[in-house]
Amino acid sequence: MTLVALTPFARILSICPYGPLATLASKRPFSRSAPARDSATVIRDPAYPDLHYHSSPSPLSNSVTTTPYYALSFLDNPSVTSPLTRNLIIGWTPATTPPAISPATFIENGSFADLLHDVVKKNVGEGDEALKAVAEWQKEGWLHVADARNAPPYGRIPYPEDIIGSVLVQQGLIQPSSYQRNPTHRFVTPYGLFRLSVPLHAALVTRCREPAEGGKR
């Protein structure tokens, strides 16, 4: 696959900050083992940290289909499907037993995408020691924030759908305010749902769990 010419992505020197163990884990298909049920309406994914499936009506406006759906979130609260917290829903997938996520049927929530990129922008320079080490080595230029679900071999550029965003490096330091989201990043690919680094995932889950704010802050 050829990298789509984007600005600044076309001129970025990219090094994926994830090791071989993360690569192997990210390429593992979603588990088909029996998921754990937290309540009558919430199912916890057995393989993906903090991921839950919530019974939900169709997200399609004016839909005449009776197909049941699951709303995905990082919360175990059944009320996450309320209109007041719609921005905390990652997306929707047709309800199956056990739950499964496919790029052919997954419906991405644009509001959650905004929240995701805001969290990455505010936290990309903190906590992720692997990414900071790459920045120190690179010294200058643009650096990809790679999706860990399909981490490329060391030193190779990820596929466009696996580049979450890009951040400027100056004198070996990440400049969080320079973060730019990649419009070709996809929440779901054949390798599964997006996966952040451990520190960024923790920051995203914390943001989603902020009381009263509904993740909007």
Query: Using an 8 Å Cβ cutoff, are 46 and 39 in contact?
Result: no
Q: Answer whether residue 216 is part of any domain.
A: no
User: Which pLDDT does position 10 carry in this prediction?
Assistant: 42
Q: Answer whether residue 2 is part of any domain.
A: no
H/E element, 115: helix 110-123
Query: Using an 8 Å Cβ cutoff, are 167 and 142 in contact?
Result: yes
Q: Both 157 and 180 in a single domain? A: yes
User: Which pLDDT does position 43 carry in this prediction?
Assistant: 95
Q: Both 95 and 132 in a single domain? A: no
Q: Both 123 and 200 in a single domain? A: yes
Choose one of 108, 138, 163: the last residue of a domain: 108
Taking CA atoms, 143 is separated from 9, 147, 191, 217, in Å, by: 9, 13, 23, 26
The pTM for the full model equals 0.78
96 Cβ contact list (under 8 Å, min separation 6): none
DSSP state of 77: -
Q: Answer whether residue 73 is part of any domain.
A: yes
What is the residue range of 130's domain? 9-27+111-208
Q: Both 168 and 69 in a single domain? A: no
DSSP state of 132: H
Choose one of 60, 89, 108: the last residue of a domain: 108
Q: Answer whether residue 98 is part of any domain.
A: yes
In whole angstroms, what is the distance from residue 115 CA to residue 91 CA? Answer: 13
Q: Both 193 and 121 in a single domain? A: yes
Q: Both 122 and 16 in a single domain? A: yes
User: Which pLDDT does position 85 carry in this prediction?
Assistant: 86
Choose one of 108, 137, 171: the last residue of a domain: 108
- For residue 162, how many C-alpha atoms fall within 13 Å in the half-sphere facing its CB? 27
User: Which pLDDT does position 112 carry in this prediction?
Assistant: 97
User: Which pLDDT does position 35 carry in this prediction?
Assistant: 52
What torsion do the CA atoms of 88, 188, 203, 80 make, to the nearest 10 degrees? 20
Instruction: Give the strand order in the sheet containing 107-108.
Output: 36-37, 42-44, 52-56, 69-73, 91-94, 107-108
Q: Both 82 and 142 in a single domain? A: no
Tokens of 188: 């779901």
User: Which pLDDT does position 78 carry in this prediction?
Assistant: 82
Q: Both 99 and 141 in a single domain? A: no
Q: Both 92 and 142 in a single domain? A: no
Q: Both 133 and 202 in a single domain? A: yes
| Dihedral pair phi/psi, residue 214, rounded to 5° | 60, 30
Query: Using an 8 Å Cβ cutoff, are 41 and 54 in contact?
Result: yes
In whole angstroms, what is the distance from residue 81 CA to residue 91 CA? Answer: 11
pLDDT by 10s per residue, the chain, length 217: 333 333 454 443 343 443 333 333 334 444 444 455 444 479 999 999 999 999 998 888 766 667 899 999 999 888 887 877 889 999 999 999 999 999 999 999 999 999 999 999 999 988 789 899 999 999 999 999 999 999 888 778 999 999 999 999 999 999 999 999 999 999 999 999 999 999 999 999 999 998 644 545 4
Q: Answer whether residue 3 is part of any domain.
A: no
Q: Answer whether residue 155 is part of any domain.
A: yes
Q: Answer whether residue 214 is part of any domain.
A: no
Q: Both 13 and 45 in a single domain? A: no
Q: Answer whether residue 172 is part of any domain.
A: yes
Ranges of beta strands (E only) in the chain are 36-37, 42-44, 52-56, 69-73, 91-94, 107-108, 141-146, 163-170, 173-181, 188-189, 192-193
Q: Both 119 and 187 in a single domain? A: yes
Total domains, the chain: 2
| Chain mean position to CA 68 | 24
